[in-house]
């Protein structure tokens, strides 16, 4: 065994807890690891008595409790605690199969500590007090227990409350945790994860619709992640109760967490996404503009809305039908009064380029004449309570029972129920009310029993995954029924890993400027929490926006991966033309921008699916070493190369913008800026600050009224000059099939190199897909020299144009390998 340094010498001085920082409870722990607080007995892990090894797994025991430490990859280490020495069955809805790489694992021991090492991470366990810490390969402390993991018996339900407390330095900040409607930096926040229907939620209201128990710690420019994979109600304290501690705990289940090493924030998010999965490539139409309302009915109203989009030439790909399309709110039925010929209606919508998305709720009306209820009842598919009566609650149809989506048989049954909707012409499914929400009681009683994929549990265990398993059933059913066609689903509730099955939106927001700002923050937070395909109800679900607020929300929505306008039925209609001019024209301009940028957005989704890169990236992810950036929350990167600075206040004519280090160009004016500082940028209502990274190649297409309106004849490649090498990606495939999983795709990498007298653009292609168009239209901005020659694959290009701003335009084959622009 190697000779190891005492753990106290590995901890940076400012990370150590001073003697006078121990709380009264902590002082008791130093002398006795069993602490009684009121009627509750809290049991701390004692000193390590023994250990066993099994490949990449190590189990340590204090004589009663056991802790299993597993090396998942060179950068991910899993920690589990069994209070009485017996681990629960190893099952997770969150974890996705991914071929993690383990290069080397070492185990060593001295008289004070055990040390498990990979080439990137050390996990250190102190013998005397069972503290667990993680250092990087240079022995720099990344994350450390403030006190031993502990638990207390849950006398009401059985099982244990489980706790973990970590050292928190005075420079450490925290991020992610899903859709919390609060400041982007979570330090100083105490938060709960328990899926909850929160109509017209307020800033700082907690909890909300989703439970994503993953956070990122950032300290002195280095990042790590903690994924607490526990589906019970969980709690997080980021230096609230004690300024030198962060903590997480749950009301049941197992203390089971993953330490995820950085050191960059992007590394942490990528590795979390490797654990829990990424979105599949969406159908391209799902990235277009979507129009929704509770509700559009009857069918004549739906056709009127759709035709108005086409008459006014405002691009739109999808229209949604809320609960009023159903017969008495019975799922999988049609209201014959409002929609007497649904197949004809959906066919007419398809003829003018509209996809139709319909809502489905989990509550199934108790009605023996209703075929869905009869099937569910006869097959025993509905949830039961502990006394074996069916769980019943009132939602939109009245008295309802609810499928147990944690039962694989129920998920399979549910998936096949969509057959008739698809045959009618439905294209996508909107999963709602699946927290699950129940009128009056809020949700299911705790004693409701769930199959949990044969691992059994009460609703306390299944609550946070109920919505995820509902949309999983939906997604898998659509995938089977639609054969090789990509499903589109959207869900309100979810748990970590829900991104494998669905897009999400931030729920029932309010038409206020405060909520516009929250929408921006929440989408950034969801994106770095592994859920890139997210959006908000543009304009606010409830309340009344004016034209300015709605227009600014449309501008932000262009750069949220899901772009959907949605409003409640008791508000005024809220389409892009609802506020008249000049707002209608500005909304059209920005929705057209969304469609121009479709190839860029689609490529960003490929980078998410293939390389685990979030589509939306906050400033702190781009530059975490600058502490002031830890609190920037307005601006974000959209994909690799576009910086977005939304306008989030009324009646302002300019705003302060921070540009990260490097050169940037104003998207509208092509003015060049040197980053690393703030600028004041003009913000008239018809504009929003958008910047492009120097050296970027941004693919754009001709504006369409819907994404497959016509075949492209050429693709625009816009390039902004840079003296530093920059790589850009363009991804192409069929747009609606799974052929990309069999290499029927085309990934193009553009490498740009500039100097005072030249600009070189190289294209490298990988994949088997062949796009229909034959040529690129190149537009080059920011050239610092007068062009004398353009060479394409060594041959001089005679046809090119230069305008008075020295903007260069020319065409090339889509298969070019090298372009040289010379002074």
Q: 508, 634, 635, 640: which is the annotated catalytic residue?
A: 508
Q: Identify whether 110 is a catalytic site residue.
A: no
Burial degree of 287 (CB within 10 A; 0-12, 13-18, 19+): buried
Q: Identify whether 508 is a catalytic site residue.
A: yes
Q: 432, 537, 592, 666: which is the annotated catalytic residue?
A: 432
Strands (E), 509-553: 534-535, 537-538
- C-alpha 62: how far from its chain's center? 39
Cβ–Cβ under 8 Å, residues 504 and 474: no
* Rounded Cα–Cα distance for residues 541 and 200 (Å): 8
* Rounded Cα–Cα distance for residues 189 and 628 (Å): 19
Q: Identify whether 251 is a catalytic site residue.
A: no
Would the CA dihedral through 683, 689, 694, 697 be positive or negative? Answer: negative
The long-range contacts involving 744-749, CB below 8 angstroms and separated by at least 24 positions, are: 744/768, 744/769, 745/606, 745/769, 746/770, 746/771, 747/606
* Rounded Cα–Cα distance for residues 498 and 746 (Å): 27
Nearest CA among 396, 427, 372, 7 for reference residue 197: 396
Token digits of residue 557: 């929505």
Q: String of b and e for 492-515 (b: at least 16 CB within 10 Å)?
A: bbbbbbbbbbbbbbbbbbbbbbeb
3-state SS assignment for residue 732: strand
Q: 152, 229, 361, 435: which is the annotated catalytic residue?
A: 435
* Rounded Cα–Cα distance for residues 71 and 53 (Å): 12
Nearest CA among 814, 785, 569 for reference residue 713: 814
Burial degree of 192 (CB within 10 A; 0-12, 13-18, 19+): middle
Helices then strands, counting H and E runs in the chain, come out as: 14, 54
Cβ–Cβ under 8 Å, residues 597 and 640: no
Q: Which residues contact 24 (CB under 8 A, 6 or more apart)?
A: none
Q: Active-site positions?
A: 432, 435, 508
């Amino acid at each position: 065994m190697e000779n190891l340094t005492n753990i106290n010498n590995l901890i940076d001085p400012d990370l150590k807890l001073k003697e006078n920082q121990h709380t009264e409870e902590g002082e008791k722990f130093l002398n006795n690891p069993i602490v009684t607080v009121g009627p509750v007995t809290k049991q701390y892990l004692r000193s390590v008595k023994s250990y066993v090894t099994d490949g990449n797994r190590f189990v340590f025991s204090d004589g009663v409790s056991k802790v299993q430490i597993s090396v998942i990859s060179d950068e991910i280490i899993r920690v589990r605690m069994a209070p009485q020495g017996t681990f629960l069955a190893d099952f997770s809805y969150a974890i996705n199969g991914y071929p993690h790489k383990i290069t080397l694992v070492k185990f060593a021991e001295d008289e004070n500590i055990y040390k498990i090492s990979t080439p990137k991470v050390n996990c250190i366990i102190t013998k005397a007090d069972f503290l667990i810490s993680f250092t990087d390969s240079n022995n720099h402390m990344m994350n450390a227990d403030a006190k031993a993991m502990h638990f207390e018996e849950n006398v009401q339900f059985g099982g244990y409350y489980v706790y973990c407390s970590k050292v928190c330095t005075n420079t450490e900040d925290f991020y992610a945790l899903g859709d919390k409607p609060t400041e982007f930096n979570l330090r100083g926040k105490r938060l709960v994860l328990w899926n909850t229907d929160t109509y017209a939620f307020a800033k700082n209201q907690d909890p909300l619709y989703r439970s994503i128990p993953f956070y990122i710690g950032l300290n002195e420019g280095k990042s790590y992640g903690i994924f607490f994979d526990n589906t019970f109600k969980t709690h997080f304290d980021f230096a609230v109760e004690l300024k030198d501690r962060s903590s997480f705990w749950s009301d049941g289940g197992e203390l089971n967490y993953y330490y995820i090493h950085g050191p960059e924030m992007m590394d942490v998010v990528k590795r979390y996404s490797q654990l829990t999965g990424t979105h599949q490539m969406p159908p391209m139409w799902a990235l277009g503009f979507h129009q929704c309302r509770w509700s559009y009915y009857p069918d004549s109203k739906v056709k009127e809305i759709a035709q108005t989009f086409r008459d006014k030439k405002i691009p739109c790909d999808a229209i949604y039908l809320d609960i009023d399309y159903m017969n008495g709110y019975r799922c999988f039925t049609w209201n014959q009064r409002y929609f007497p010929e649904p197949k004809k209606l959906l066919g007419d919508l398809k003829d003018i380029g509209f996809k139709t998305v319909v809502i489905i709720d989990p509550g199934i009306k108790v009605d023996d004449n209703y075929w869905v209820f009869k099937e569910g009842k006869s097959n025993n598919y509905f949830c039961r309570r502990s006394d074996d009566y069916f769980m019943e609650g009132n939602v939109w149809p009245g008295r309802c029972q609810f499928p147990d989506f944690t039962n694989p048989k129920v998920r399979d049954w549910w998936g096949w129920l969509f057959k008739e909707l698809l045959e009618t012409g439905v294209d996508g499914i909107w999963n709602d009310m699946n927290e699950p929400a129940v009128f009056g009681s809020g949700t299911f009683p705790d004693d409701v029993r769930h199959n949990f994929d044969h691992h059994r549990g009460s609703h306390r265990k299944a609550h946070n995954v109920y919505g995820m398993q509902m949309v999983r059933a939906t997604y898998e059913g659509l995938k089977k029924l639609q054969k090789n066609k990509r499903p589109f689903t959207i869900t309100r509730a979810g748990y970590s890993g829900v991104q494998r099955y669905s897009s999400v939106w931030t729920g029932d927001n309010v038409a206020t400027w405060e909520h516009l700002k929250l929408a921006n923050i929440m989408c950034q937070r969801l994106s770095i929490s592994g859920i890139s395909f997210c959006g908000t109800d543009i304009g606010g679900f409830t309340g009344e926006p004016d034209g300015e607020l709605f227009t600014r929300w449309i501008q932000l929505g262009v750069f949220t991966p899901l772009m959907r306008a949605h409003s409640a039925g008791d508000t005024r209609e809220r389409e892009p033309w609802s506020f008249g001019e000049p707002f209608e024209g500005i909304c059209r301009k920005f929705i057209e921008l969304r469609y121009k940028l479709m190839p860029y957005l689609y490529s960003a989704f490929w980078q998410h699916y293939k390389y685990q890169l979030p589509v939306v990236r906050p400033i702190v992810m781009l530059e975490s070493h600058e502490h002031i950036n830890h609190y920037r929350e307005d601006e974000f990167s959209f994909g690799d190369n576009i910086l977005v600075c939304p306008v989030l206040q009324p009646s302002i004519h300019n705003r302060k913008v921070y540009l990260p280090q490097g050169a940037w160009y104003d998207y509208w004016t092509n003015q060049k800026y040197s980053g690393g500082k703030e600028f004041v940028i003009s913000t008239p209502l018809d504009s929003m600050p958008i910047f492009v990274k120097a050296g970027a190649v941004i693919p754009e297409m001709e504006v369409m009224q819907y994404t497959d309106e016509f075949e492209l004849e050429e693709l625009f490649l816009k390039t902004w000059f840079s003296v530093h090498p920059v790589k850009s990606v363009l991804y192409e495939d069929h747009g609606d099939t799974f052929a990309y999983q069999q290499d029927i795709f085309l990934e193009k990498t553009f490498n740009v190199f500039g100097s005072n007298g030249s600009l070189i653009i190289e294209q490298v292609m990988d994949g088997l897909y062949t796009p229909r168009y034959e040529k690129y239209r190149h537009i080059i901005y920011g050239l610092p020299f007068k062009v004398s020659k353009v060479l394409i694959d060594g041959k001089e290009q005679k046809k090119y144009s230069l305008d008075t701003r020295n903007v260069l335009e020319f065409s090339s084959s889509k298969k070019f390998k090298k372009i040289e622009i010379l002074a």
